[in-house]
Amino acid sequence: METAKLKKFAQFARRSLMEQVSGKLKLVLAEDSAARREYPPAVRELEEQIVAHGEVQVIEKVAYIWFNRFCALRFMDVNRYTRVGLVSPAEGQFQPEILAEAKMGHIDEVMVPEKVRQQIVALLDGSIPSPDPQAEAYRLLLVAACNDYHQAMPYLFERIADYTELLMPDDLLSGNSILAYTREALTPDVCEDVEVIGWLYQFYISEKKDEVFAGLKKNKKVTPENIPAATQLFTPHWIVRYLVENSLGRLWMLNRPHSKLVDQMDYYIKPENPETDFLPIDSPEEIKICDPACGSGHMLTYAFDLLHAIYEEEGYEPAEIPKKILKHNLYGIEIDERAGELAAFALTMKARAKHRRFLRKPIQPNICVLENIHFEEGELTEYLDFVGRDLFTLPLQSTLRQFEEADNFGSLIRPEETDVEEVLQTLKAKDVAGQLLLSHTHQKALQALKQADYLSPKYHVVIANPPYMGGKGMNGRLGAWVKDNYSDSKSDLFAVFIERNLELVMSAGAVAMITMQSWMFLSSYEKLRARILGQSTIISMLHLGARAFDSIGGEVVSTTAFVLENQHRAEYKGAYVRLVDGKSEAEKIEMLERALK
């Protein structure tokens, strides 16, 4: 995918949206503003958010919310997942199709509530005076559309009846509007694959990433809120294919040696000899795949493609396959709420592409954005007395308290109790509706147990491009915590994730990763190497060296991609492909394809 244009657009959009949202903020907060008269609860909420998080963070958050929604709606328009163009014009027109239809008297009665429809009609026929009736009518249509998608995609389209709507950019219809630039960047060609959304996010936060790295040179540590910007890196598709095909694909081929799946796995490395010691799989629904640092979901979306082929081969009903994949097979964990939303959106779009009625009765993707959860002194005691103290062992009580710094430690948290599913289901059935004081505690307990469940060692395959951050960049709490909990791999987060991923996967399961190459030879990783070689088996490795990411110039990142099996087989001879001499992604791909012939 040609990304230069996308990068330019995303960086411009961030600056432009933050400027527009900042301008709206001043208007809304003015003492005599119309917003204060008409929407006092929303203004109060906005002021509370500013006190809690600061004005800059609120502006940043709202700007990104609208960027995210505009790009998602454009992607759906281009692929005709929307009935009419919500941000895109019809052929030969200039205004969004939904506005053009409204001007002709056609307004979707299901999408747009009656009261709002009447307001739109009155604006367009002049019954309600307005300095820009079309812009105001379109604003109402767009909010109604976002609210309509709330049921299908609540993670991306939260109901808009708050300060987010008050801070929506004003200029959405002119040739210089953010929507015009969105349409220009997200052409039909680039919207052929949902991975474009991931590229946009990386580029959107790229300037923030530059700021964080500039701070590192001045010895500023990476704070929890800046970890996503500092560590997000979009994985090239060919590397994703190697990782997925040699973990999920390999597992399936071992269980179904005559499967035709091998014909579509261009980067699959066939075992030299038949294997008998592998993880047995009876049906596709059993397979659990996790990306513990999933970002915008690139690993998971290709795993979706491969799983879809597996289900088809097994003879499942085509309309049921997307739901089964999202319900049973794919799990993502993330500390960045924005990235988690995009991963869920990407998987939903994959499902919609395979089944056109999917959005009518969607299955929510299994994406868990880890939240900080704190219980006040005595809060749990009262709650446990109410729901039943016998449900909670001491390890389980400790687990509830392990997520106070989830935004800092992420998937590296090892829950003391990992077998929580039965307790979680029991608590979900508890009726606390009449207990106002306990209701909030109940929701926190449910979220903590959900997070513990995601972080349990239950996966057949774990795939990741983990964050890279050396000890010098870690904030004080993260650095000390890593030393205490991961002494064998503490030098860099990517190495810690190697250790952690081997804990998340079942015995004989597969861990597929791309990381910095330094763990292969530096003395600081000697204990990690000993653990890998002594307790697991290297199935295959691509030594990529520098320039495996065209989006990163020069020799900045030298990497290796590999697949480990979580059991020790001393006699096994892995497959190793040296690609360090390739000067670009294209050269490395060519070298790999030659090696696999």
- pLDDT tens by residue, 95-106: 999 999 999 999
Q: What is the mean pLDDT of residues 346-365?
A: 94
pLDDT value for 89: 95
More confident residue, 548 or 411: 411
Residue 145 CB contacts under 8 Å (≥ 6 apart), including other chains: 73, 82, 86, 98, 111
Q: Residue 1 — pLDDT band, cuts 50, 70, 90? A: low
Q: What is the mean pLDDT of residues 285-293?
A: 97
Q: Is residue 205 within 8 Å of 232, Cβ to Cβ?
A: yes
Q: Alpha-carbon distance 155 to 345, whole Å?
A: 8
Report the relative pairing of strands 558-565 and 459-464 from DSSP bridges. unpaired
pLDDT value for 224: 79
- CATH 3.40.50.300 at 212-370+456-596, yes or no: no
pLDDT value for 164: 86
pLDDT value for 161: 56
pLDDT value for 270: 93
pLDDT tens digits, residue range 504-533?
A: 999 999 999 999 999 999 999 999 999 999
pTM of the model: 0.93
pLDDT value for 449: 95
**What CA–CA distances, in Å, run from 162 to 43, 62, 338, 455, 482?**
8, 11, 19, 34, 39
Q: What is the mean pLDDT of residues 43-59?
A: 92
Q: Is residue 385 within 8 Å of 418, Cβ to Cβ?
A: no
Report the relative pairing of strands 459-464 and 537-546 from DSSP bridges. unpaired
pLDDT value at 160 more than 70: no
pLDDT value for 412: 97
Q: Alpha-carbon distance 530 to 133, whole Å?
A: 69
**Whole-number mean pLDDT of the chain?**
92
Residue 390 CB contacts under 8 Å (≥ 6 apart), including other chains: none
pLDDT value at 302 more than 90: yes
Q: What is the mean pLDDT of residues 543-563?
A: 82
Q: Residue 391 — pLDDT band, cuts 50, 70, 90? A: confident
Q: Is residue 113 within 8 Å of 144, Cβ to Cβ?
A: yes
Q: What is the mean pLDDT of residues 61-85?
A: 94
Q: Alpha-carbon distance 389 to 83, whole Å?
A: 52
Q: Running DSSP on this structure, what letter comes out for residue 236?
A: P
Q: What is the mean pLDDT of residues 353-377?
A: 94
Residue 355 CB contacts under 8 Å (≥ 6 apart), including other chains: 318, 319, 321, 322, 323
The residue ranges of every structural domain in the chain are 4-192, 212-370+456-596, 379-412+419-454
pLDDT value for 322: 97
pLDDT tens digits, residue range 198-235?
A: 889 889 988 887 787 778 777 788 887 777 777 767 78
pLDDT value for 388: 84
Q: Residue 552 — pLDDT band, cuts 50, 70, 90? A: low
Q: What letters, b where the CB count within 10 A reaches 16 and e where it falls short, cover 28-65?
A: bbeeeeebeeebeebbeebeebbeeeeeeebbbbbbbb
Q: Residue 555 — pLDDT band, cuts 50, 70, 90? A: low
Q: Residue 431 — pLDDT band, cuts 50, 70, 90? A: confident
H/E element, 153: none
Tokens at residue 205, please? Answer: 């936060």
pLDDT value for 374: 95
pLDDT value at 357 more than 60: yes
pLDDT value for 192: 93
* Coil/strand/helix, residue 334: strand
**What CA–CA distances, in Å, run from 74 to 82, 154, 227?**
10, 18, 29
pLDDT value at 29 more than 90: yes
Q: Is 92 left (phi over 0), alpha (psi -120 to 50) or beta?
A: left
pLDDT value for 556: 67
pLDDT value for 553: 57
Q: What is the mean pLDDT of residues 423-429?
A: 90
pLDDT value for 486: 96
More confident residue, 276 or 108: 108
pLDDT value at 133 more than 70: yes
pLDDT value for 214: 79
What proportion of the chain, given as a percentage, has pLDDT over 90? Answer: 75
Q: Is residue 199 within 8 Å of 1, Cβ to Cβ?
A: yes
If we measure between CA atoms, which residue out of 28, 68, 31 comes closest to residue 49? Answer: 28
pLDDT value at 471 more than 70: yes
Residue type, 57: Q
More confident residue, 338 or 291: 291
Q: How far is CA 102 from the centre of its chain?
A: 35
If we measure between CA atoms, which residue out of 361, 447, 357, 439 comes closest to residue 399? Answer: 447
